[in-house]
Each structure stands twice: as structure tokens, then as C-alpha cells.
């Protein structure tokens, strides 16, 4: 079971990373045009420890927590990781949709 969870988490983190690279490039372009003036992708109550105006730091936080989970298999940490991945997928998907329209 743990191997299956490990693989699914790794696959999802890899996918989120790819999407975040594209979205961060788009955000950089929007900032050059002064069309992206926000301070953070997520609000403070979203469950992330970091605060950033790009997706990369959030993905790094999830990846760091994933590596920690691989060592200790803590159930609460797993729940936190899954919730953060879900939030990243939702926000990245919404961003891609709104920018591609």
C-alpha cells in the first residue's frame, strides 16, 4: 500500500511541478506587463507554511514534506500533503483556464 501511495504522490508532485513551471513563466510575463500585482498565490489559511507570488515555493514545500513522509510515514503529514497537492491542482488549473481564454 505504501509503495502505491508513494508512486501516486511522486507522480502528482511531478505533474504539479511541470504545471507550475509553465504557470510561473506566464506569471513573469504578466508581471512585466504589470498585470500580476498580487503578493501570494495562496492565503495564509490555505495550509502552506510559505508565502510566495509564484508556484515554485509551494511545490518545493510539498516535495520537502513528501521526502519527510517517506522517512516516517506519518498519517497526518500524508493528509496535509494530499490537501496541498489538491489545492495546487485546483489553482493551477484555474490559472491555466483563465489565462488561455
pLDDT tens-digit series, residues 60-87: 999 999 999 999 999 999 999 999 999 9
Would you call 43 helix, strand, or coil by DSSP? coil
pLDDT over 80 at 88, yes or no: yes
CB 52 within 8 A of CB 40: yes
Q: Provide the grid cell at 28.
A: 513573469
Compute the distance between CA of residue 95 and CA of residue 93 in angstroms, rounded to an integer.
Answer: 5
pLDDT over 70 at 1, yes or no: no
Angle ∠(15,94,78) on CA atoms, nearest 5 = 45
pLDDT over 80 at 100, yes or no: no
pLDDT over 80 at 99, yes or no: no
Amino acid at each position: 500500500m505504501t509503495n502505491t501511495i508513494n508512486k501516486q504522490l511522486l507522480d502528482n508532485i511531478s505533474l504539479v511541478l511541470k504545471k507550475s513551471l509553465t504557470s510561473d513563466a506566464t506569471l513573469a510575463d504578466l508581471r512585466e506587463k504589470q498585470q500580476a500585482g498580487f503578493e501570494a498565490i495562496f492565503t495564509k489559511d490555505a495550509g502552506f507554511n510559505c508565502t510566495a507570488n509564484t508556484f515554485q515555493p509551494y511545490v518545493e514545500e510539498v516535495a520537502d514534506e513528501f521526502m519527510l513522509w517517506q522517512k516516517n510515514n506519518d498519517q497526518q503529514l500524508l493528509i496535509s500533503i494530499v490537501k496541498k497537492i489538491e489545492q495546487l491542482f485546483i489553482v493551477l488549473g484555474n490559472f491555466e483556464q483563465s489565462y488561455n481564454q
